[in-house]
Amino acid sequence: MEQNLNLISHRILFLTTISFIVCFASWVINGVLVTFLVNNRVFIWSPVEIGWLLGVPILVGSVFRLPIGIITDKYGGKLVMSSILFFSAIPMYFLSQANTFISFLLLGLGFGLAGTSFAAGVAYTSLWYPKEKQGTVLGIFGAGNIGASLTTLIAPSVLDKLTSHGANLDAWRTLPKLYAIMLIIVGIIFLFGTKNKIPHESKSMGQRLSPLKEIRVWRFGLYYFFVFGSFVALSQWLIPYYVNVYSLSIVTAGFMATAFSLPAGLFRAGGGWLADKVGARMVLLWVFGVCIVCLFFLFIPRMEILAPGQGIMAVRPGTVTSVSNNEIVVSEDKYFLQNKENDSHQVMIRFGIHNDNEGFLFLPTASISQEPKVKLGDTVSKGQLLASGVTHVYFQANRWIFSSLIFLIGIMMGIGGAAVYKHISDYYPTNIGAVGGIVGVLGGLGGFFGPIFFGYLLRVSGVWTTCWMFLALIAAICIVLQRIAIKAIIANGKNKLNTQFKITNRETIQ
């Protein structure tokens, strides 16, 4: 009997995870599709319009997570999850017929509901396993985040083939149809392959929403804003980032973005297991710390700066008798110039966009050149400037180092996402749907507001790396709040211990 129950539980977990993968892949399709259409000038949309097209599906999938989690607790995950799959397929299919910004926006409102599958899956899957396995199970389910990497990895290549490498751009319309078919097929499999289950304890709406009064729930939401919301935002933001900063094609940018999104999904299951073993609080502390360190190294933008450098001044008065690129002779004194030819640290750079052909540079590199400011026959006085100096500071921001740091951040975010929901299952084992829903809402809002904040920071500063500074600030706030919470728990524990000691001591005296 127990073995049969385990088999059913594992089947439920498997099918729910597959459904979440497909929903997540559909949820972020605009990150690839809109970028492709704009880059190929199929549609002429402003950066603001692009931001809305990327963000609206994320917003819908985030805001509706709370009601979907509550509905799942009441009616069961079988009906809710299959309904999400079938409903999302309808606007996804009609996306292939869209021709205006408004039609894209409205259809994004429709298939954005695919993002709510997370709340339904968490509430449904958690019912099939005991509390001591909740972290591992929810981590495995959360690995459905790899749906984002499947879209960034496969969709650009599919678009390239469908359009015959840009020869038939109207063929892009086949991609949404393929996604719609995929949603329907998985929906049918889920509907007939799962068994419904709802919590034994019946609760009123007020009881379901009562945990939302606790500051702890909102703190968990901020944690998830960083580890999941930032993951969703970066899954879409990294494609234009690679295209603009590193001059990559959209197909190559999709492959590079996958280096971030794929490990976030794969390591989420490991994060759940780790949270079961050492505790969610310790896991999150390491996640935030490692992310801050990696983000710090991403602060410095790819840059070329020309600044005044060390010049050469005459030590004695005299007449200039010789001037060349290598030396200046004033009477009997020789002054040797540093220039591009004799500077061993000089990096050959052409201004504008370049292709990393200057080798592998980990740290910023400075090169110095000096140009004569006097000519043959000039009379100079002591201390007069003979040659001006120019310092050329260059930071390569090597894309392989960048991608390695992004890869590590992706792993940490995946692990952190599982740890947050381990927290929820520990504190609210009978109300995972509602609590997980509101935490999912806050996390999803990070995916919506993230690209908007990134775009605003880019517009104001003109520097792409401001997005990493913003994320580091959020991670630092999370650590501070976590430390405050830990101190409060320790203080409460000491107070309870002191109270128990006083009661016991009084009873002994009596």
Query: Mind listing the pLDDT tens digit for each residue in 403-430?
Result: 889 999 999 998 998 888 888 877 877 6
Residues of the chain predicted below pLDDT 50: 341-357, 497, 499-510
Which tokens in the block code for residue 361? 């540079």
**Contact (CB, 8 A) for 236 and 452:** no
Q: What is the per-residue pLDDT for 470? A: 93
Q: What is the per-residue pLDDT for 348? A: 38
Domains along the sequence of the chain with CATH:
2-195+217-300+399-491 (1.20.1250.20), 303-395 (2.40.50.100)
> Which positions ≥6 away from 396 have C-beta within 8 Å?
302, 356, 358, 361, 365
Q: What is the per-residue pLDDT for 503? A: 39
Q: What is the per-residue pLDDT for 496? A: 52
Q: What is the per-residue pLDDT for 349? A: 36
Helix (H) or strand (E) holding 144: none
Q: What is the per-residue pLDDT for 291? A: 95
Q: What is the per-residue pLDDT for 506? A: 39
CA triple 147-149-155, angle to 5 deg: 90
CA triple 216-217-220, angle to 5 deg: 85
**Contact (CB, 8 A) for 110 and 237:** no
Report which residue type is found at 472.
A
Place of tokens 């709510």: 116
Place of tokens 């933008």: 301
Which tokens in the block code for residue 444? 């999803």
> What CA–CA distance (Å, rounded) separates 57 from 80?
19
**Contact (CB, 8 A) for 467 and 454:** yes
**Contact (CB, 8 A) for 255 and 399:** no
Nearest Cα neighbor of 82 from 191, 4, 219 is 191
CA triple 27-28-34, angle to 5 deg: 125
Q: What is the per-residue pLDDT for 360? A: 62
Output the pTM of the full model.
0.71
Which tokens in the block code for residue 226? 């960083």
> What CA–CA distance (Å, rounded) separates 121 from 213?
24
Q: Are strands 365-372 and 333-336 parallel, antiparallel or unpaired?
A: unpaired
> What CA–CA distance (Å, rounded) separates 272 from 422?
7
> What CA–CA distance (Å, rounded) separates 367 from 307?
11
287-342 pLDDT per residue, tens = 999 999 999 988 887 777 777 888 888 888 888 888 888 888 888 888 888 875 44
